[in-house]
Structure 1
Amino acid sequence: MRLVTYREASGDRPAVVVSSPGGDRLLDLSAVTPRVEQILADESLLAEVRAAVETTDAATLPALESVALAAPVTPGKILCLGYNYRGHVPDGVDPTANDPEWPDVFVKTSNTLAGPDDAVAIPPGATDVDYEGEVAIVIGRRAQRVSIDDALSHVGGYTILNDVSDRAWQRRQSQWALGKCSDGFAPLGPWVVTPDEVPDPQDLLVEVVRDGVVTVSQSTSTTIFSVAFVIHHLSQVLTLEPGDVVSTGTPQKLPEAQEAHRPLADGDAVTVRISRIGELTTRFVSPLTPSTTGTPQEVHA
């Protein structure tokens, strides 16, 4: 199933995407629960949603494209991995060197969360904003010091995260927080795909498209640390709660894309597509745009 959160004047609502010959439709789930993460955490609610999908006439439902989507979940924590694909290493490091012993983990703060339909404003003065397309895990069941063998049973689903990064700020210090945590720098979505749709998270193709050109293309089979290990590892230190997001890192850009690197600018769009999960397209805008009167006004992404 594909679970989404969509925007209404009265507030955000959970829904499930229903496939139909006429395109994707939207079945509102607000009568079941107010939040997607509660569905992911409750087998009885999941069963109720599946039954509703089976018994609903999709032709009577509104089109998915008729609504605006918010981030599918509101995580208490967003944890991310750096350099988790073989061949993706820090500047100056031999890409053929031995794998690291432990994952490189950092945090994106709550202000970074953005929905799949939100534009991301490039911060004033930013000179090197970049994108990173990643498979993101959504926790479905509380995980505290879990074993590797049991780790995947704590996954509620999978989604896509664009780990937008300000490289200039990232290079200014050993800690990455200021390069990773500008407002809106974690577009998430468009939906959470339940684990039955992703039987093997280590067999997904991650691709990124910019300006019609594929700039990233690599399988999750080449990650250094598997989804199961990452959940196990993180849960030894902190408790993962339903709705928490763990983003598993980005592959290295293809050589020609590295050579043609250009910081993101107003009007750019980047699409992250991951097999079995879907596509997330993020549009980038300058922080100020001219109004009809010629006076600059803020863009509210």
Structure 2
Amino acid sequence: MKWISFNVDGNEQYGLYNVQEKTVAAVSKMEGSPKSFTEALGDPDFMEKAVRLADSAPRINESDIEWLAPIPRPLKNIFCVGKNYRDHAVEMGGKSSVPEHPMIFTKAPTTVSANHAPIPAYESLTDYLDYEGELAVIIGKKGKEISRAEAMDYVFGYTVLNDVTARDIQNRHKQYFLGKSLDSTCPMGPWIVTKDEIANPHDLGIITRVNGEIRQQSNTSQFIFPIDEIIHVLSKGMTLEPGDIIATGTPAGVGFAMNPKRTLRKGDSVEITIESVGTLTNKVQ
């Protein structure tokens, strides 16, 4: 199943998207529905009912909606795993920079934007705006001190995420938050694919194209730290909640590591495709 959030005439809604028909079953219009998809995720009884009764929910054509990020306003910062592909760790700092433990940083909730939403160029702030194609995990239930054996039970589904980064700001401040948290620098979507549709999240091809040129091409089998370990580590002293977002890291091929550097400029189009999940497309403006 593919869950989306969207606007119709300025009203935020959510529902189940049908790729073949290009329609949405607007389950947010069902009686007793939570206001937002994040709230709906926290109500398992409603989610079960919504799936069961989706055929009777109002149908809306894709042409009549404005796409939003699947989680339009996260309640927490987006959790991000740095250098989770060995080849990317090496390209950014050599073999010595390959981490021994998951390297966690965050992006502010105000970074979140949708499929086809513009990425601001921020020409007055940065000379090195970069792309990072990533698989993102959406947490589906509340948990703390989650064991690795149980970790995947807490996953609701997956989406595509672009961890857009101002490299010079990141390097100047000697930490990641400011360079990662410019507004609208976390496009995600177009939908959340529920985990039952993904046979193995650790065997998914990922490709990032800039203006049609392949820049990143890898597979999630190359993760240094798998999803269950990441969830286990994050939850050791912190409660994970429905709607929390975890970006699992990016493979080699970022523009800042190239010689010469090939970071983003106004007019560039970035397209990230993850096997069995979908394609996220955004243009720098």
Provide the TM-score with structure 2 as the length reference. 0.90
**Counterparts of residues 1-301 of structure 1 (less than 5 Å):** 1-20=1-20, 23-30=21-28, 31=30, 32-53=33-54, 55=55, 61-73=59-71, 74-77=73-76, 78-89=78-89, 93-95=93-95, 100-125=99-124, 126-253=126-253, 258-259=258-259, 261-285=261-285
Cα gap change, 1:260/1:52 in structure 2, threshold over 3 Å: closer, same or farther? Answer: farther
Cα gap change, 1:134/1:76 in structure 2, threshold over 3 Å: closer, same or farther? Answer: same
What CA deviation, in whole Å up to 9, does each residue of 1:150-198 have, x standing for no partner? 0010111111110000011111132111111111111111111111011
Q: In structure 2, how many angstroms separate the alpha carbons of the residues matched to 1:7 and 1:35?
A: 12
Q: Secondary structure at the match of 2:239?
A: coil
Identity of aligned residues (%): 31
Q: In structure 2, how many angstroms separate the alpha carbons of the residues matched to 1:56 and 1:276?
A: 27
Q: Secondary structure at the match of 2:48?
A: helix
- Answer yes or no: is the 8 Å Cα contact 2:132–2:254 preserved in 1: no
- Answer yes or no: is the 8 Å Cα contact 1:269–1:284 preserved in 2: yes
- Answer yes or no: is the 8 Å Cα contact 1:40–1:157 preserved in 2: no
* Cα RMSD, aligned residues only: 2.2
Asked which structure has the greater CA Rg, the reply is: 1
Cα gap change, 1:238/1:112 in structure 2, threshold over 3 Å: closer, same or farther? Answer: same
Cα gap change, 1:87/1:183 in structure 2, threshold over 3 Å: closer, same or farther? Answer: same
Unaligned runs of 5+ in 2: none
- Answer yes or no: is the 8 Å Cα contact 1:70–1:115 preserved in 2: yes
- Answer yes or no: is the 8 Å Cα contact 1:79–1:105 preserved in 2: yes
CA shift at 1:94, angstroms? 3.3
More off after superposition, 222-231 vs 32-41: 32-41
CA shift at 1:241, angstroms? 0.9
Cα gap change, 1:29/1:56 in structure 2, threshold over 3 Å: closer, same or farther? Answer: closer
- Answer yes or no: is the 8 Å Cα contact 1:37–1:140 preserved in 2: no
Q: In structure 2, how many angstroms separate the alpha carbons of the residues matched to 1:116 and 1:201?
A: 21
Cα gap change, 1:258/1:52 in structure 2, threshold over 3 Å: closer, same or farther? Answer: farther
- Answer yes or no: is the 8 Å Cα contact 1:14–1:34 preserved in 2: no
Q: In structure 2, how many angstroms separate the alpha carbons of the residues matched to 1:164 and 1:176?
A: 12
- Answer yes or no: is the 8 Å Cα contact 2:137–2:158 preserved in 1: yes
Q: In structure 1, how many angstroms separate the alpha carbons of the residues matched to 2:90 and 2:169?
A: 15
Provide the TM-score with structure 1 as the length reference. 0.85
CA shift at 1:41, angstroms? 3.8
What CA deviation, in whole Å up to 9, does each residue of 1:33-86 have, x standing for no partner? 322234434443333233234x459xx933324311111113222110110012
Counterpart residue type for residue 45 of structure 1: F
- Answer yes or no: is the 8 Å Cα contact 1:122–1:284 preserved in 2: yes
- Answer yes or no: is the 8 Å Cα contact 2:8–2:64 preserved in 1: no
- Answer yes or no: is the 8 Å Cα contact 1:128–1:168 preserved in 2: yes
Unaligned runs of 5+ in 1: 286-301
Q: In structure 1, how many angstroms separate the alpha carbons of the residues matched to 2:81 and 2:237?
A: 15
- Answer yes or no: is the 8 Å Cα contact 2:26–2:60 preserved in 1: no
Cα gap change, 1:124/1:98 in structure 2, threshold over 3 Å: closer, same or farther? Answer: closer
Q: In structure 2, how many angstroms separate the alpha carbons of the residues matched to 1:222 and 1:168?
A: 27
Counterpart residue type for residue 213 of structure 2: V
Q: Secondary structure at the match of 1:89?
A: helix
Counterpart residue type for residue 66 of structure 1: D
